[in-house]
Amino acid sequence: MRSSAWFVANCALILCTLRLIDGANGLRLCSETDYYYEYTECDSTGSRWRVAIPQRPGACTGLPEPVRGTECTFSCKAGEFLEMSAQECTQCAAGSYSLGSGIRFDQWDSMPAGFSSLATSLENSPHGDDRPTCNSSSWVPQGNYLESNRDECTVSLIYAVHLKKKGSVSFEYQYPDNNLLFEFFIQNDQCQEMDQSADTKWLKLTNNGEWATHTVNLKSGTNILYWRTRGVLMGSKGLKPVLLKNVQIEGVAYTSECFPCKPGTFSRVPGSTKCEPCLRDTYAGHGASSCTPCNTTTQYAAQGSAMCKDRPPCSRKDYFQIHTKCDHEGKTQVIYKWIEPKICLEGVTGAESLPPSGEREPCPPCNPGFYNNDTATCSPCPPGTYSDGKKPCTQCPAGTEPSLGYEFKWWNILPPNMKTSCFNVGNNKCDNMNGWEVAGDHIQSGAGSSDNDYLILNIHIPGFKLPTSMSSHSATEFGRITFEFETVCVADCELYFMMDVNRKSTTVVESWEKTKTRQTYTHVMTKNASVSYTWAFQRTNQPSDVRRYVNDVARIYFISVSNAVDGVSSGCRACALSTQPSSSACVPCPPGHYIDTRTSQCTECPPNTYLVPHTTPGPDACKPCGPASKCDKDHSFCYSDCHFTYAEGNATLTYDFSLLGSVGSLMNGPSFTSKGTKYFHHFNISLCGGKSQLAECTDNVTDLSITDSQRENGEGANAVKTFICQSTIIPATGRGFHTALASQSINLADTLLGVTVESTLDGIRARSELYPQTSKKVPDVNFYYRSLEATSSCESGRSAVVTLRCNPEKNAKGELSVPSQCPAGTCDGCTFHFLWESSGACPTCTERDYHQIEGACKGAQQDLLYVWTEPKLCIGGVTLPEKETLPCEGMEFWVRLGAGLGAFTAVLLVILICYFWKKSKRLEYKYSRLVMSANKECEMPGADSCAVMEGENEGDMEDEIVYTKPSLLGKLKAIASKGNGEHYEHVQLNSSHSKALVWS
């Protein structure tokens, strides 16, 4: 307190000194226009001083003396301001308004004083200083509202306010795009974020064209308000910006002036708390107390206009046609009407006249499920009856029940459960405008008041009712909506198809940009809930207040909703009858049972087949599961049990994929947008197991404000649970987003087609050329999937192939990858390819996968070892047999045996040599005796033979030897003798023995 007083005294002394100096210099005295008043900061006692501040320092002299100001808690009522000269509350003059202790910002022709827009540079770009910057990204004033950036830059709108007491801030906003993150938070003067709950920080999505109001309480003191947006991901479509208007802050101590009414508004009486918009064909300038009429002959003005505009000549875009209700003759009249409010001029040069009305045309037939009983309108058929729209309603025969739903293909009048409206971006509803117009065989978008209006068509379904025969099934499909449409545009038009479940929030299911040829789209409802389906058409998302593209149009030819609980019947479907003979009531079939049309009884589907819902009753309703897949007990779901068998030649390979785990995950990338934002594609894959083991992907962008209990009940969260799903992940960047963002969760595979080693199945091809080739002998195993949800780019739904490859170098969990040529997992946007390399993908080991090795024989024992054949391309299965030890005869035995046999053989050879040598010597001796005898004269020449006479050489004639043929040795010797010139023709040998030796 004392320091504050000294401060005020010093200020007063300085001002007096300046006044004296200025007076000495001859300056003029200050008038009231040369200064303004401000209060000093409050001291500890709650006191403050009023001080005059010069507009231009040094321009004049004689400023008022500081005086004690009002109490710091003082404030004025709404419609009043604090007149600082008298320090009293005074009513605002006409043409202005005041909130008393609050301020309001509702004019956005330029950025109001105190507001600033700050774009954060992207830090994730891989290109260093060469990356694109966000300098051009900012919040942009658009007259009635403020528009956020349309890219993935992070842009903050900042306003600082000092509150003397507790207060609040409220604002209106449009937030239609879940690809944009929008948050509102508060910091104190120490740049510390105030405690806020999730539902006050993260803004909820709004419907296209609709404004929502958000209010947050503020504490006394300095509050720095932040509105921050950031694009989650830039794709082929641009982002819808956030719109902001009517920012109001309560809790300031006082306002020293009133706010003038913005152009197009006025306040007629003093003390106004707000300004009213001018009526149509009137206008008002800045700070007006009344509105001025336009010259309606040549001019017009919309509500809340700041000026009048000249009326243009009438053209085709200024009128439309409608059909009257059918009369008793079955005729309808074509009526042409000017679009209201009519702003064009007739009868001027170049103007087009309104075509004549009243031409009678035959009425189109009633839509299926309705009938015309000689009345002017089509009425719904009574319960239990049906009609094709052309014939009277007919009772369903026994054994059948009505097939409930809606089929709209004739558009004479808007059906009773449909509504149409028009929302202008800046001014909420379009004045006296219908969003869509019926046109006989189609319904089309209307004109709107400007090109960026949202033209809305809505149908509400309170719930779904399954046919009686399926009511006990655990259905995955409760109903479906199918519509046929086309768009014809020259601007950047867009058609949205949206869904609001249980009146929580509207989410965009699918959208189509620019011209689209006539096509059909189907969406399946997977939960039984109240739902509103909405079609919104916008000709351009650029700010506009004129109609230049009125010929850009969206047409819907056909809308069908099945199983609607409040629907009508266009036909009857077979149902199962009770077994009681006297009963003709339809009864529900147990899960997995179809209706036998011959007996009208429930019949269970054959083994390993699943029941296709909403098909014609009969055995054909049961479809077999694909190869190597099996059906659950309810015949509603085909899955793999992790086991697969493949026979090739005489070998059979058995696989067990349970080691891969229940769910595999893959995050590829990173990838970067054009602005440099880093993002990843995250995939979750469930190969085998039932419904309880499916993969799940959840967004955490659009449901950040959802409570834990809501998230547990599946309310509001955008979660996808299926075989294969994908999310886009943006990592935490340290710029206020403290957690990684997951968004754009999509379903890639909800149906298992089969498991096989073949490269194609059901029209899907596993492109092995996308992966590095392997020389291993174990074949790859392919899991084939398909998603039944059609998209704008994949009319037959997405498909996926997961290729399992045996790699003993990987662990059992393995590693997932996508093709290098397709880093997003797909090359065409519709078929996704994954490679899962793992030792767990190897076949089960058998006896063929190991071999035997014999050890050395030691100590009369030998070891038998078993080892795996390398490389080992199997896992689990049989184990290696234990080492075996067998008796054996060692090498020493065989050496001894060999040595003995060798010695015996040597001795035998020596004996044989000696024997034959001795034998040879004896023969040689005999031969020499014969030779000697032959050299003597014989008494009987000419004899052909000679003999040894008895008694001659008795000692040498012990054996009787008869040679009938000369030996080889003898022949050799004979040849040698002939060579020496010796000839023996007749030799007679004498002997005393009676035995003779004959040699011939």
Question: Which pair of tokens denotes residue 857?
Answer: 């024989």
pLDDT score of 235: 55
- Residue 733: CB atoms within 10 Å: 18
Question: Which pair of tokens denotes residue 33?
Answer: 């226009």
Residue 298 lies in a domain: no
pLDDT of 875 > 70? The answer is yes
| C-beta contacts of 792-797 below 8 A and 24+ residues apart | 792/510, 792/511, 792/512, 792/521, 793/829, 793/830, 794/829, 794/830, 795/519
Same domain, yes or no: 508 and 622? no
| Full domain range(s) for residue 868 | 850-887
pLDDT score of 737: 55
Kindly state the greatest CA–CA separation across the chain.
Answer: 199
- Distances from the Cα of 61 to the Cαs of 52, 57, 580, in angstroms? 12, 9, 110
Same domain, yes or no: 610 and 653? no
The pLDDT confidence band at residue 982, using thresholds 50, 70 and 90, is very low
Residue 264 lies in a domain: no
Same domain, yes or no: 511 and 535? yes
The pLDDT confidence band at residue 966, using thresholds 50, 70 and 90, is low
- Tell me the pLDDT tens digit for each residue of 272-323: 998 999 999 999 999 999 999 999 999 999 888 899 999 989 988 788 777 7
E strands, 787-891, where?
Answer: 799-806, 815-817, 831-838, 850-858, 861-868, 884-887
What DSSP string describes 99-118? -SSEEEE--BSSPPTTEEEE
Query: Reduced to 3 states, what is the DSSP secondary structure of residue 735?
Result: coil
Query: Reduced to 3 states, what is the DSSP secondary structure of residue 919?
Result: helix
pLDDT score of 582: 59
- Tell me the pLDDT tens digit for each residue of 577-628: 877 765 667 888 888 888 887 888 888 899 999 988 777 778 888 999 999 9
Same domain, yes or no: 497 and 544? yes
- Tell me the pLDDT tens digit for each residue of 749-769: 989 999 999 999 999 999 888
- Tell me the pLDDT tens digit for each residue of 611-624: 887 777 788 889 99
Residue 955 lies in a domain: no
Same domain, yes or no: 213 and 166? yes
How far apart CA 372 and CA 329 sit, in angstroms, is 11
pLDDT of 439 > 90? The answer is no
Same domain, yes or no: 651 and 581? no
pLDDT of 791 > 60? The answer is yes
**pLDDT-wise least confident of 290-299, 522-531, 976-985:** 976-985
H helices of 935-979, in order, are: 968-979
pLDDT score of 755: 95
Q: How much is the average pLDDT of 225-245?
A: 78
How far apart CA 754 and CA 639 sit, in angstroms, is 8
- For the chain, percent of residues with pLDDT exceeding 90: 24
Same domain, yes or no: 754 and 615? no
Residue given tokens 């014969």 in the structure block? 930
Query: Reduced to 3 states, what is the DSSP secondary structure of residue 468?
Result: helix
Domain count, the chain: 6
How far apart CA 444 and CA 322 sit, in angstroms, is 11
Residue 228 lies in a domain: yes
Query: Which residue(s) pair with 183 in the sheet?
Result: 202, 228
**pLDDT-wise least confident of 155-164, 544-553, 887-896:** 887-896
Residues near 974 by Cβ (< 8 Å), separated by ≥ 6?
A: 966
Q: Residue 822 sits in a domain of what CATH number?
A: 2.70.130.10
- Tell me the pLDDT tens digit for each residue of 495-516: 999 888 887 777 788 889 899 9
pLDDT of 775 > 70? The answer is no
- Tell me the pLDDT tens digit for each residue of 824-861: 888 888 999 999 999 999 999 998 889 888 877 777 78
**In terms of Cα–Cα distance, which of 249, 252, 182 is closest to 217?**
249
- Tell me the pLDDT tens digit for each residue of 118-147: 887 655 444 444 455 677 889 999 888 899
Of the candidates 252, 269, 297, which is a domain's last residue? 252
Would you say the C-alpha torsion 647, 653, 658, 660 has a positive or negative sign? negative
pLDDT score of 752: 93
- Residue 650: CB atoms within 10 Å: 6
Q: Residue 147 sits in a domain of what CATH number?
A: 2.60.120.200
E strands, 899-986, where?
Answer: 949-950
Q: Residue 483 sits in a domain of what CATH number?
A: 2.60.120.260
Residue 769 lies in a domain: yes
Query: Reduced to 3 states, what is the DSSP secondary structure of residue 494?
Result: strand
Question: Which pair of tokens denotes residue 707?
Answer: 């409570």
Of the candidates 636, 663, 681, which is a domain's last residue? 636
Choose between 998 and 726: higher pLDDT. Answer: 726
Same domain, yes or no: 515 and 595? no
Query: Which residue(s) pair with 499 in the sheet?
Result: 507, 533
E strands, 724-839, where?
Answer: 724-730, 741-749, 751-756, 760-761, 764-765, 781-786, 799-806, 815-817, 831-838
pLDDT of 949 > 60? The answer is no
- For the chain, percent of residues with pLDDT exceeding 70: 83
**In terms of Cα–Cα distance, which of 564, 540, 558 is closest to 460?**
564
Residue 7 lies in a domain: no
**Mean pLDDT of all residues in the chain?**
80
Of the candidates 534, 565, 596, which is a domain's last residue? 565
Indicate the pTM of the whole model: 0.72
How far apart CA 452 and CA 442 sit, in angstroms, is 23
Same domain, yes or no: 752 and 832? yes
Same domain, yes or no: 505 and 583? no
How far apart CA 452 and CA 541 sit, in angstroms, is 5
pLDDT score of 734: 43
Same domain, yes or no: 595 and 557? no
pLDDT score of 964: 46
pLDDT of 57 > 50? The answer is yes
pLDDT score of 375: 64
- Tell me the pLDDT tens digit for each residue of 65-122: 888 888 777 778 889 888 888 888 889 999 999 988 888 888 888 898 889 998 876 5
Same domain, yes or no: 532 and 607? no
- Residue 532: CB atoms within 10 Å: 18
- Tell me the pLDDT tens digit for each residue of 913-948: 888 888 888 888 888 888 887 765 544 454 444 444
pLDDT of 267 > 90? The answer is yes
The pLDDT confidence band at residue 995, using thresholds 50, 70 and 90, is very low
Residue 587 lies in a domain: yes
Residue 591 lies in a domain: yes
pLDDT of 159 > 90? The answer is yes
Q: How much is the average pLDDT of 540-562?
A: 87
- Residue 45: CB atoms within 10 Å: 11
